[in-house]
Amino acid sequence: MTVTVERGGRGSRSGRGSRGGDAVEAHHRAKGPHRPRDSYALFLLPGALAFFVIIVVPFLMNTGVSFTEWQGVGTPKWTGLANYRELMDDSEFWASFRHSLFMVVAMAAVPTVVGLVLAAALFDFVGKHFGSRTVAVLRACFYLPQVLPIAVAGIVWSWILAPENGSLNELLKAVGLGGLQQDWLGDPDLALYTVMGVMVWVQIGFPLVVFMAGLQRVDPQLYEAAELDGAGWWRRFWHITLPQIRPEIHVVLLWCTIAALKVFGAVYVLTKGGPGGATNVPSYFSFTTFFEKTQVGYGAAISTVLTVIILVLALVGLKLQTRAEDAEEGLRV
């Protein structure tokens, strides 16, 4: 993956063959049998132990419980794949995953596209004509929602979107569009789209900042040459910006898709999965199954399916990423 920290190891490696390097080697040899590799494993011990207790054991427990019927007290009753079979027929489960796809659109697809255009516009247009200070102010505005706790963002938006006296409805009335007033979060046909809108607002700053950082390593001569050849803004965007920051696009898409599949806080605060399950998502569904219905086995099955989907996606994403990098590396060397 792309290393954005300066001070590459390349220069240092070339210094290896120097006289100083040989002296070091000789010194090490003189010390006799020396196995520097394995003794470092001690440093990994606390981390490995902590991960075992906090991540591995609970994860395996959760998977194990998904094959049982359990209320959280007493002994779990082994039921094999019964929970999974039940899930397949559970329309609530399928609906929650369908809503996940909507969230992927709102939290990954739209922010990536908009973020790309915004980053390119800020970087090579505003930066060039209006100075880096203007860029910094605009970037800060777009990034601001990213530092907000999602619970607080939820409070802000559910009040703005309130049917009575909500700012959005008041605003519509004030500009003479009163006919468009809605119960944004309370209308089952509308709630999912409203939540999507809020998530776009929350998410947009992340790709923007990543892409702007990526654009900084694009050689400005590429743009200058294209401009001399008469390429317009869109052509430069399409033929230079996009291919140049492809690694960033990969990472942002992967990262945001996973975030979208995990989304919980926003749904909890904005709609509690309602109205009538219209905004239910897998994480919220498993949460209520665990703690409100106390069907722990069933909840564990939901979260196991979610986990499998995310891990498969992550593995495929990482694989594609390394392959793309290897290809690029091969071209460069």
Partner 1 sequence: MTAARRYPVLVALFIGALFMVLPFLIVAVNAVKSPAEYSANGPLSLPEGVYLDGLKDFWQRVDFGQKLVNSVLISGSVALGAVVLSVLNAYAIGIGRIKGRTWVLAFFVLANMLPQEALVYPVYYLSKEAGLYDTRLSVIIVFVVIQAAFGTYLLASVLGQFPREIIEAARIDGANKWQVLWRIVVPVSRPTIGVLLVFFFIWTWNEFLLPLVMLISNDNQTVSVALGVLQGQRLMDATMTNAAALLGVLPALVFFLVFQRTLTRGIAVGAVK
CB of 270 to partner 1, least distance (A): 9
Interatomic CA distance for residues 296 and 75, integer angstroms: 12
Interatomic CA distance for residues 267 and 33, integer angstroms: 60
Interatomic CA distance for residues 43 and 312, integer angstroms: 30
CB of 192 to partner 1, least distance (A): 18
Q: Identify the residue among 17, 32, 33, 47 touching partner 1 (CB under 8 A).
A: 47
Q: Which is nearer to partner 1, 279 or 283 (CB)?
A: 283
Is residue 220 part of the contact set for partner 1 (CB under 8 A)? no
CB of 221 to partner 1, least distance (A): 19
Q: Which residue stretch of 83-91, 95-103, 181-189, 198-206 sits at the interface with partner 1 (rule: CB under 8 A)? A: 198-206
CB 234 within 8 A of CB 301: no
CB of 92 to partner 1, least distance (A): 16
Q: Which of residues 1-40 bind partner 1 (CB under 8 A)?
A: 1-5, 7-9, 12, 15-16, 20-21, 24, 27, 36-40
Q: Residue 278: phi, psi to the nearest 5?
A: -65, -20
CB of 260 to partner 1, least distance (A): 11
Amino acid at 155: I
Q: Which is nearer to partner 1, 199 or 251 (CB)?
A: 251
Q: Which of residues 280-309 bind partner 1 (CB under 8 A)?
A: 282-283, 286-287, 290-291, 296, 299-300, 302-304, 306-307
Q: Which is nearer to partner 1, 135 or 192 (CB)?
A: 135
Interatomic CA distance for residues 134 and 118, integer angstroms: 14
Residues in the chain: 333
In the chain, where do the E strands start and end? 68-69, 77-78
C-alpha distances (whole Å) from 117 to each of 123, 196, 218, 238, 255 are 10, 20, 16, 10, 19
CB of 66 to partner 1, least distance (A): 9
Q: Identify the residue among 104, 110, 150, 191 touching partner 1 (CB under 8 A).
A: 150
CB 256 within 8 A of CB 203: yes
Interatomic CA distance for residues 273 and 87, integer angstroms: 18
Is residue 218 part of the contact set for partner 1 (CB under 8 A)? no
Q: Which of residues 158-197 bind partner 1 (CB under 8 A)?
A: 158-160, 162, 165-167, 170-171, 174
Q: Which of residues 79-138 bind partner 1 (CB under 8 A)?
A: 118, 121-122, 125-126, 129-130, 134, 137-138
Maximum Cα–Cα distance across the chain: 87
CB of 105 to partner 1, least distance (A): 19
C-alpha atoms less than 13 angstroms from C-alpha of 185 in its C-beta half-sphere: 25
